[in-house]
Amino acid sequence: MKHRIGETSNGAEVYVELIGTEAGRQIARQPQLLSIAKEMLQHIAPPDADITLEYDMQRPIGYSSVITTTDQHTVFYGRVLKDAVFTRFVKNAQPLATRYVSVRLIRSHTGSYELNDIWIGRLRPAQPGSPAETSEGRRYWATHAIIYTDQQLHMNTITKVCPY
Segment 11-38, tens digit of pLDDT: 999 999 999 999 999 999 999 999 999 9
Confidence of residue 108 (pLDDT cuts 50, 70, 90): very high
- Residue 162 in any domain: the answer is no
Contact 142, 128 (CB under 8 A): no
Instruction: State pLDDT tens for residues 59-95.
Output: 999 999 999 999 999 999 999 998 899 999 999 999 9
- Residue 164 in any domain: the answer is no
| pLDDT, position 40 | 98
| 75 beta partners | 90
- Residue 36 in any domain: the answer is yes
| pLDDT, position 82 | 84
| pLDDT, position 150 | 87
CA 72 vs CA 68, 69, 85, 91, 92: distances in Å: 11, 8, 25, 11, 11
Q: How many domains does the chain have?
A: 1
Q: Domain span at residue 144?
A: 2-157
- Residue 77 in any domain: the answer is yes
What is the average pLDDT value for the chain, to the nearest integer?
A: 95
Pairwise CA distance, residues 34 & 26, whole Å: 10
